[in-house]
Structure 1
Amino acid sequence: MSLAPRAVLVHRRSELDELVHRHGTRGQVEFFLRTRGRTLAEVQDRHDAVTEALTRTRAAIPVDWRRGDVERGDLHRFTFDPGDLCLVVGPDGLVANTAKYLDGQPVIGVDPEPGRNPGVLVRHRAERIGRLLAAVQSGSATLEPRALVRATLDDGTGLDALNDVYVGHRSHQSARYRLVLPDGTVERQSSSGLVVATGTGATGWATSLARGRADAPALPGTAEDTLAWFVREAWPSPITGADHTAGLLASGARLEVAVESDALVVFGDGLEADRLTATWGQTVTLGVSDRRLRLVH
């Protein structure tokens, strides 16, 4: 007998939950917000919107399906099964936070606060979830593949990210390394780190990095298996250069960073807590991941 499908609901604590956890009581939260020109009512309204979206999403899951539930802070401890269907309720960034832990499972992004989120990855309202789940189960749903960027250390450890990967000093001070381009060109550099972004991430950090730079490449589209890379604030000196600070990586191409500092950190999508550390002499290889996010369109 085959197992029933499992829907895994991914969410994050609301701002109100975070504030109560930090300050202890709603009264203290209200005082804190008032000192900063805000009101508890505003934060409560947003909390209520998220709660309602979660309630509606849970109610839409068929009663005979299995269920999973995970908060963003526990994603690194949660095991997704190959046949899971993932329901992400929150801002667009929560889909990015989740993508690195998936391996082909369909993702439905649910926007609990329409108008506050860009809605690039969370495209659906909670009231549509029942129909979407039925479409995914029947195979009639349209799944949009999104490329991920992969960073791999020479000891075999690695991580994937949906938006971008950062390689640099943990405090964003000068990082020293040798940059090896796909064509074999080598340049020793000192900079505040590198960012390698996907087409999905091209609307985020990569846009800021590209703005105003004469050497900035045309950023990849969301459906492209191409990455854009940028070196931040490369410093030319007698022993370091700044001639190669931006470019594109096609699928199959690799960018290498050979560490010449005590240690550089590697993390994806802004999750610094979930990082790799590359020490002197190690090499970080960056390229398009073999995995894809499968976003229900």
Structure 2
Amino acid sequence: MTDESPRKFVLVTRKTRLQELVERFNTWPQAKFYLEHNQVNAKDYFDEHDLYQERVRQAEQFLKKTGLFQKLERSMLPGYRFHPTDIVVVIGQDGLVANTLKYLDGQPLVALNPDPGRWDGKLLPFSVKDLPGVIRQVCHNDWPCRKITFAQACTNDGQQILAVNDLFIGPRTHQSARYRINWADKAETQSSSGIIVSTGFGSTGWFQSILAGAMAVSGTTGHPLENGFAWDEQRLQFSVREPFPSRTTGIGLVFGEITQEKWLEIESMMPENGVIFSDGIENDCIAFNSGIIAKIGLSKKAGRLVWNT
């Protein structure tokens, strides 16, 4: 991007807890009554909402003066088409960063923490006051970006889904998942609570809870991946949750690495309620019922998160 080329800034926001409560109960007085009835401090909801809206206003004011501008609420992301030269600004939390990255294809993403006193913001390296300096340097391609490897699932009936953190393959409910797994020239039928496929970006999240449980059960105190792996590594890690051994189901393929050369293939044996969802969002899913074969591997797309070194 040169100084002369038009710049478009896309500001991605989320609803506050206050807004979500009002949607649920139709009016604020009804929502307030619900909170107070449950002995919850309603003022905290107001304070969070007011500060978040003020940070959105400040960011919007600056970006509108700087170039072309578009504001998107999170629910609008699936239907929005980003331009290759867009610069995307997200006002967190961390989950919104991951959710937004999934819809990008190499555009730089600047993540802002609206309230450092409330949110740790491990993926939110900047505040609104940093925005002018960061945007100026991003426009000159003079700010470091961390590359993020995505996972993808493609099915034999043409469905596809991307993940920034992880994929879940299994039942929509708490029933057992039944499927046939094929990896590294080995195959077996399994019954389990589902399969988690983690990226480096997500390897300090859900993946860590799986490792922690496995180490606790086995009595071990360490694992080579207990601190995760790099965001840009060209690898994924799959873990089978609670595999059940029986005469017809095995437990030989429960943990392994997925690379460009070594994909994971799973054939559903679930008549209904089988799904593949990404990044912990159950509504963002594709069907995975009997007859569907999913191929899980690295995506050609990658994310770029502007980072403060």
Instruction: Provide the residue aligned with 1:120 in structure 2.
Output: 122
What are the superposed Cα offsets for residues 155-210 of structure 1, whole Å, 9 maximum, x if unpaired? 332111110001111113111111111x2110110111101011111121111111
Partners of 2:98 and 2:164 within 8 A in 1 = yes
Instruction: Provide the residue aligned with 1:282 in structure 2.
Output: 292
**CA distance in structure 1 between the aligned counterparts of 2:203 and 2:27, rounded to whole angstroms:** 40
1:17 corresponds to 2:19: yes
1:293 corresponds to 2:294: no
**CA distance in structure 2 between the aligned counterparts of 1:22 and 1:276, rounded to whole angstroms:** 26
Aligned counterpart in structure 1 of residue 34 of structure 2, from 32, 39, 52? 32
Q: Percent identity?
A: 34
Partners of 2:171 and 2:194 within 8 A in 1 = yes
**CA distance in structure 2 between the aligned counterparts of 1:117 and 1:123, rounded to whole angstroms:** 12
Name structure 1 gaps, 5 residues minimum.
none
1:64 deviates by 5.0
SS in 2 for 1:210: helix
**CA distance in structure 1 between the aligned counterparts of 2:5 and 2:289, rounded to whole angstroms:** 45
1:62 deviates by 5.3
**CA distance in structure 2 between the aligned counterparts of 1:36 and 1:9, rounded to whole angstroms:** 35
**CA distance in structure 1 between the aligned counterparts of 2:200 and 2:185, rounded to whole angstroms:** 24
What are the superposed Cα offsets for residues 204-259 of structure 1, whole Å, 9 maximum, x if unpaired? 11111111315876232334222121111111110001122112223442111011
> Kindly tell me: are residues 210 and 3 of structure 1, through their superposed partners in 2, closer, same or farther at Cα, counting changes over 3 Å?
same
Instruction: Provide the residue aligned with 2:60 in structure 1.
Output: 58
Under a length normalisation based on structure 2, what TM-score does the superposition of the two structures give? Answer: 0.91
Instruction: Provide the residue aligned with 1:158 in structure 2.
Output: 160
1:184 corresponds to 2:185: yes
**CA distance in structure 1 between the aligned counterparts of 2:132 and 2:176, rounded to whole angstroms:** 51
Read off the aligned partner of 2:88 and give its amino acid letter.
Answer: C
> Kindly tell me: are residues 168 and 201 of structure 1, through their superposed partners in 2, closer, same or farther at Cα, counting changes over 3 Å?
same
**CA distance in structure 1 between the aligned counterparts of 2:69 and 2:252, rounded to whole angstroms:** 52
> Kindly tell me: are residues 83 and 296 of structure 1, through their superposed partners in 2, closer, same or farther at Cα, counting changes over 3 Å?
same
Name structure 2 gaps, 5 residues minimum.
none
**CA distance in structure 1 between the aligned counterparts of 2:295 and 2:95, rounded to whole angstroms:** 25
Aligned counterpart in structure 1 of residue 276 of structure 2, from 266, 287, 290? 266
> Kindly tell me: are residues 89 and 258 of structure 1, through their superposed partners in 2, closer, same or farther at Cα, counting changes over 3 Å?
same
Instruction: Provide the residue aligned with 1:74 in structure 2.
Output: 76
Residues 246-255 or 108-117, more deviating = 246-255
Read off the aligned partner of 2:193 and give its amino acid letter.
Answer: S
1:262 deviates by 1.3
> Kindly tell me: are residues 134 and 252 of structure 1, through their superposed partners in 2, closer, same or farther at Cα, counting changes over 3 Å?
farther
Partners of 1:217 and 1:247 within 8 A in 2 = no
Aligned pairs for 1:167-182 within 5 A:
167-181=169-183
Under a length normalisation based on structure 1, what TM-score does the superposition of the two structures give? Answer: 0.94
Read off the aligned partner of 1:273 and give its amino acid letter.
Answer: N
What are the superposed Cα offsets for residues 20-58 of structure 1, whole Å, 9 maximum, x if unpaired? 122233222222111222122111111112111111111
**CA distance in structure 2 between the aligned counterparts of 1:119 and 1:197, rounded to whole angstroms:** 20
**CA distance in structure 2 between the aligned counterparts of 1:117 and 1:254, rounded to whole angstroms:** 36
Instruction: Provide the residue aligned with 2:230 in structure 1.
Output: 221
Give the aligned length. 295
What are the superposed Cα offsets for residues 114-163 of structure 1, whole Å, 9 maximum, x if unpaired? 13333222111011111111111111011110111111112332111110
> Kindly tell me: are residues 9 and 79 of structure 1, through their superposed partners in 2, closer, same or farther at Cα, counting changes over 3 Å?
same
